[in-house]
Amino acid sequence: MAISIKSDREIELMRESGKILAQVLEELEGYVKPGISTFDIDKRCHEIITSYGCIPSFLNYNGFPASICISVNDEVVHGIPSMKNILRDGDIVSLDCGVIYKGYHSDAARTIPVGEITNEAKKLIEVTRQSFYEGIKFAKEGKHLHEISEAIQKYVESFGFSVVRDLVGHGIGSNLHEEPQIPNFKQRNRGPKLASGMTLAIEPMVNAGRYDVYWMDDDWTVVTEDGSLSAHYENTILITDGEPEILTKI
């Protein structure tokens, strides 16, 4: 499998891209509150990304009409920002965003509460976030890719939640999507061996109910089939000969 190994220069550019994206998401998290529309969040996201001299990765990607995917409650991913979609107290909202800095992409996602949420929703968000960290314990040189996948699934299912099967993580670099695909559940084989210099976007998507999803008529928004809540957590990481480096952090 042709997974690209990034040069020192490329890694430095992705590090910068990741740092900027982390700052974008941090600022947006503070901006989210009851009464705000997802359109307003997208507008603010676009302003922040361009103020850093970057380009939003998602805008016009395969025709996607916004700079950020905003998915609420039972929406899993690819929610299209809209003036009609007003956030309410008790919602959970996933912000999935990418930036291009000097030709290099980073990709990250966070699910956050809007006002006061239920304990079950809090648990879903925290388990999804932690499943990423359980996965990256295996994101080291010499390990195999699908060890990450298995670790994520095992952790998530131990809490009675399910991992979405139809959507996966991916390699990333000068393209938003590069090899390999990174499922969040156990595979029949171990997958390719990891090597220093690989850059991966690992993104568990976790449903409170069953793992089945379907696409809405807008051809973008993915929702849980049983209407249960869904959370998403993603970072772009660099494989090293030691611990993986999370590039999308401040």
Q: Which residues bind other proteins (CB under 8 A)?
A: 1-2, 57-58, 60-64, 69, 77-78, 96, 98, 107, 165-168, 170, 176-177, 179-181, 183, 187, 191, 212-213, 215, 219, 222
Of the pair 121, 198, the CB lying nearest other proteins is at: 198
Residue 14: C-alpha distances to residues 94, 135, 200 (Å): 23, 21, 11
Of the pair 180, 197, the CB lying nearest other proteins is at: 180
Q: Which two tokens stand for residue 159?
A: 């809490």
Q: Provide, rounded to whole angstroms, the least separation between the CB of residue 245 and other proteins.
A: 22
Distance CA 239, CA 242 (A): 8
Q: Is 130 exposed, middle or buried (0-12, 13-18, 19+ CB in 10 A)?
A: middle
Q: Provide, rounded to whole angstroms, the least separation between the CB of residue 77 and other proteins.
A: 7
Q: Provide, rounded to whole angstroms, the least separation between the CB of residue 178 and other proteins.
A: 9
- In 3D space, the residue among 155, 108, 135, 129 whose CA is nearest the CA of residue 239 turns out to be 135
Distance CA 177, CA 114 (A): 30
Q: Provide, rounded to whole angstroms, the least separation between the CB of residue 221 and other proteins.
A: 10
Q: Provide, rounded to whole angstroms, the least separation between the CB of residue 35 and other proteins.
A: 27
Of the pair 22, 121, the CB lying nearest other proteins is at: 22
Q: Rounded to the nearest 10 degrees, how much is the dihedral formed by the CA atoms of 76, 80, 84, 87?
A: 40
Of the pair 1, 250, the CB lying nearest other proteins is at: 1
E strand or H helix that includes residue 31? helix 8-31
Of the pair 106, 121, the CB lying nearest other proteins is at: 106
